[in-house]
Amino acid sequence: MLTRFFPRFKSLPLIVVAALAAVLGSQEARAQRDLGEVVIETELKNTPILVTGSTPELNSLANLAFNAHGAFRRQATGFAFKVNFASAGPNQVQVTVTRSQGTPVVSQVVGGTSQRNALLRAADVAVRAMTNKPGFFATKLAFIGERGGKPEVYVGDLFLGEVKQITNDKSLAMTPRWSPDGGRLIYTSYFRTGYPDIFVMDLGSLQRNTFVSFKGTNSGARFSPNGQNVAMVLSGEGNPEIYIGNAQGRQITRKTRTTAVEASPSFSPDGSQIVFTSDAAGGPQLYVMAAAGGAARRLPTRISGYCAEPDWSRADPTKIAFTARIGRGYQIAVYDLKTGIAKQASKQSADAVEASWLADGRHVVFTNRSAGASSLWILDTENQKATQLSSASAGKLSQASVLDPR
């Protein structure tokens, strides 16, 4: 049955394929190259800065962080700002920013959960001082890693330090998503029943509870911005549809009623709307509807016959990042709700998929996927600069979810 149905959807993301397999009742579906850094030169201006640290560890991490930020260009001479980091005590870092002529901009001691975390938080202070926009260096990631042979949920900082394995299901785990307060993760796993169920993990106690386990597919769960509701895809009534329940997995109500396949719901920053993927038009496209329910409208991306995996920017409500089929592969694109125009944001030699917005509304974390390999990268959606976060030694990493550091 799979071979008859999946040619139409053979390039769909894993979560959509899993949903389709469950709907069909298939028991089959239930049972790297290190590419380095890719930088695309553009005409977009960035600010030259000199970044230094008082210790080799601080210097290395600070330069690693600013190298990933598309608004800056590191150079030893002719810089506009000098940014220095110095240890200020246990788990504390002092950041000092001066202009090239020595004019002070900011000097502040920043604390963190560790010296590493304090440095990343201090770097965000520097970004704010130089650009008047939020930084994203202190972001936490939840992601899927396969180092142990099975996909499990991990968490770590943006540059994959202080990584911890959160699940040990020894099963297929997918799409971890943070609660807004960072205290919980919600994800899909075939653990326990052998079918795709939704689980929620308390990160303080590491206690896992079943969130939803209905007949069919239970997947794509994502918290609302206020943490009070969860959107998800359920197929218990026969077709993958969008549902919304409360944060305890109760009062679940159906929001879409179509004969199409729905997937990947994402809330607007104010929680009033949802963007999702549907193949109602004959292939995966983006649709928006009120979170309370009602008619959905298709977003006229006009960029590809395949548009999926949307993520609505929390920092800029006018932007939705998504995966688009471009040529023979897949790239990250951004749809602008103000102009109604979608633009290709990445130009990777491999597939670029699964975008998750960072706190500045400019950068995303995405999965760079090639045959037999997948790694996490940062993309500047304005100038197409892409920076690799994980090396081949980390194994396959994918499906990152961003926790805003603010």
User: Is 331 among the domain residues?
Assistant: yes
Tell whether 10 and 126 lie within a shared domain.
no
Tell whether 114 and 11 lie within a shared domain.
no
Tell whether 224 and 369 lie within a shared domain.
yes
Global pTM value? 0.89
User: Is 366 among the domain residues?
Assistant: yes
Tell whether 110 and 216 lie within a shared domain.
no
Tell whether 60 and 155 lie within a shared domain.
no
pLDDT beneath 70, residues of the chain: 1-44
Residue 44's pLDDT is what? Answer: 54
Tell whether 100 and 154 lie within a shared domain.
no
User: Is 41 among the domain residues?
Assistant: no
The domain boundary residue, chosen from 131, 148, 181: 131
How is the beta sheet containing 81-89 ordered, strand by strand? 72-74, 47-53, 81-89, 92-99, 104-111
**Which residue range forms the structural domain that includes residue 71?**
48-131
User: Is 40 among the domain residues?
Assistant: no
Residue 29's pLDDT is what? Answer: 35
CB burial of 178-212 (b: ≥16 within 10 Å; e: otherwise) equals: bbeeeebbbbbbbbeeebbbbbbbebeeeebeebb
The domain boundary residue, chosen from 72, 99, 131: 131
What's the rounded Cα separation, in Å, for the pair 119 and 110?
Answer: 8
The domain boundary residue, chosen from 104, 131, 158: 131
Tell whether 215 and 340 lie within a shared domain.
yes
User: Is 172 among the domain residues?
Assistant: yes
Query: What angle do helix axes 56-67 and 115-131 make, rounded to 10 degrees?
Result: 50
Residue 148's pLDDT is what? Answer: 82
User: Is 71 among the domain residues?
Assistant: yes
Tell whether 207 and 117 lie within a shared domain.
no
Residue 136's pLDDT is what? Answer: 98
Q: How many domains does the chain have?
A: 2
Tell whether 294 and 277 lie within a shared domain.
yes
Phi, psi of 16 (to 5 degrees): -70, -40
Residue 147: how many other CB atoms lie within 10 Å: 14
Tell whether 117 and 179 lie within a shared domain.
no
Tell whether 171 and 289 lie within a shared domain.
yes
Tell whether 220 and 289 lie within a shared domain.
yes
Give the CATH number for residue 61.
3.40.50.10070
Give the CATH number for residue 14.
2.120.10.30
User: Is 343 among the domain residues?
Assistant: yes
User: Is 39 among the domain residues?
Assistant: no
